[in-house]
């Protein structure tokens, strides 16, 4: 075995390896625990938790697209009370490092949610999801608005103090993602999660209406990987010290390496898990092999390596 150091960090939280699940793509953790040990991966990122239970959107909720899929789940979930009572104890017992993803309808919701996450064993970071495209009101996508993004991050920062790193999840559906990144970093974000799904639509040519119950949905899968690589590259170039949790169509080690070279400090696996329950483990093993083959002795050396020699 090699002495390769696969560990990574987001602010003051440290992880033995950089491969995470993606929010909304790993259920409660219980579903995947049958296929691998949750303690083996860097962290489990939970589905985005809201204050109250939420039914999500009507069906059909899914349409497969070339090298991807559209989903229109609409943040179905049990609400924070049940999440803390049932899901967290399971993840703690499984030895998982936990990144809790939170989503609110209002700025105050984010503050209330953050308050509930203080002092919980196993929770290593908070992902602030301000970019879910599947909400009734597109105005709710905070990440498309500089002022709203800042307000959410400030209230979470104020509530958590320095207790937990805050990773803010951004939408690629903006004109200038670097401007949004700049705003949330100055508001107190420790890291960024890039990218959420892209808003899309499929029309059923038999019914001749939008295929999804919610009409629009979030596009994910290998089809969006170049968008993720671009967003990570741009943001890392502008803010090289801010760690990025990269995601967007990663299904093997080669894909993960691409995002790492662009500037990701961690990689989340989402849609690939739908096609392969053990995708997270495969990516982890492949990425380690590829990094060693390329002569890296630590994972951290490879972060943003594609930027070497650039000015500034």
Partner 1 sequence: MKINRRAQQRSVEIVSNKKIGAYHHMIFAVGDMALHALPGNFVAISVGGPGSAMVLRRAFAIYRTHDRGNYGGTLELVVAPHGQGSKWLTGLPMHATVDMVGPLGTNFGIPTEPVNALLVGGGYGSAPLFGLAELLKENGCRVDMVLGASSAGKIYAPLEGKRAVNSMTVTTDDGSAGTKGRVVTVLPDLIERYNVEIIYSCGPMAMLSAVQDIAKQSGIMHQCAVEESMACGIGVCMTCVVPLRDETGAIKMSRSCIDGPVMDGASVIWNSNGVIPAGTIGAPNV
Selection from 268, 293, 283 nearest residue 45 by Cα: 268
Judged by CB, which is closer to partner 1: 274, or 305?
274
In angstroms, give the least distance from the CB of 214 to partner 1. Answer: 10
Judged by CB, which is closer to partner 1: 79, or 162?
79
Of residues 266 through 285, those in contact with partner 1 by CB under 8 A are 271-278
73 scored as a contact of partner 1 (CB under 8 A): yes
Q: Binding residue for partner 1 (CB under 8 A) from 66, 161, 309, 312?
A: 66
Unique residue bearing structure tokens 């209230």: 155
In angstroms, give the least distance from the CB of 235 to partner 1. Answer: 26
Of residues 248 through 267, those in contact with partner 1 by CB under 8 A are 251
Over the window 16 to 55, marking each residue x when it contacts partner 1 by CB under 8 A and - when it does not, the resulting string is --------xxxx--xxxxxx----------------xxxx
d(CA 305, CA 308): 6
Judged by CB, which is closer to partner 1: 29, or 263?
29
In angstroms, give the least distance from the CB of 211 to partner 1. Answer: 10
**C-beta of residue 237 within 8 angstroms of C-beta of residue 273:** no
Judged by CB, which is closer to partner 1: 66, or 312?
66
Q: Is 132 a catalytic residue?
A: yes
In angstroms, give the least distance from the CB of 210 to partner 1. Answer: 10
Stretches 56-64, 123-131, 148-156, 183-191: which one binds partner 1 (CB under 8 A)? 56-64
In angstroms, give the least distance from the CB of 56 to partner 1. Answer: 6
Residues making contact with partner 1 (CB under 8 A): 24-27, 30-35, 52-62, 64, 66-69, 71, 73, 76-77, 79, 136, 213, 221-222, 251, 271-278
Point out the residues that are catalytic.
132
């Amino acid at each position: 075995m090699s002495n390769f150091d696969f560990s990574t960090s987001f602010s003051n939280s440290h992880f033995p390896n950089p491969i995470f699940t993606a929010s909304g793509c790993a259920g409660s953790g219980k579903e995947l625990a049958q296929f691998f040990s949750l303690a083996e991966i860097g962290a489990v990122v939970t589905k985005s938790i809201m204050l109250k239970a939420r039914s999500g959107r009507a069906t059909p909720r899914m349409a497969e697209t070339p090298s991807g899929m559209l989903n229109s789940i609409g943040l179905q979930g049990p609400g924070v009370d049940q999440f803390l009572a049932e899901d967290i104890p399971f993840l703690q017992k499984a030895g998982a490092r936990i990144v809790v993803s939170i989503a609110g309808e209002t700025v105050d919701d984010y503050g209330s949610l953050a308050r509930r996450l203080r002092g919980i064993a196993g929770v290593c970071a908070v992902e602030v999801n301000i970019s879910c495209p599947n909400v009734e009101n597109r105005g709710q996508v905070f990440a498309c608005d500089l002022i709203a993004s800042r307000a959410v991050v400030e209230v979470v920062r104020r509530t958590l103090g320095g207790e937990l790193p805050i990773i803010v999840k951004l939408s690629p559906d903006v004109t200038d993602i670097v401007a949004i990144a700049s705003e949330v970093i100055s508001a107190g974000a420790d890291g960024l999660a890039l990218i959420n799904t892209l808003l899309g639509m499929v029309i059923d040519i038999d019914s001749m209406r939008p295929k999804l119950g919610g009409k629009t949905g979030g596009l994910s899968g290998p089809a969006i990987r170049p968008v993720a690589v671009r967003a990570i590259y741009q943001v890392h170039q502008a803010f090289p010290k801010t760690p990025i949790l990269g995601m967007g169509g990663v299904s093997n080690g080669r894909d993960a390496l691409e995002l790492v070279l662009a500037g990701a400090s961690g990689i989340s696996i989402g849609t690939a898990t739908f096609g392969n329950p053990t995708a997270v483990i495969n990516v982890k093993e492949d990425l380690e092999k590829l990094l060693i083959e390329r002569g890296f002795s630590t994972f951290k050396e490879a972060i943003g390596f594609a930027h070497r020699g650039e000015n500034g």
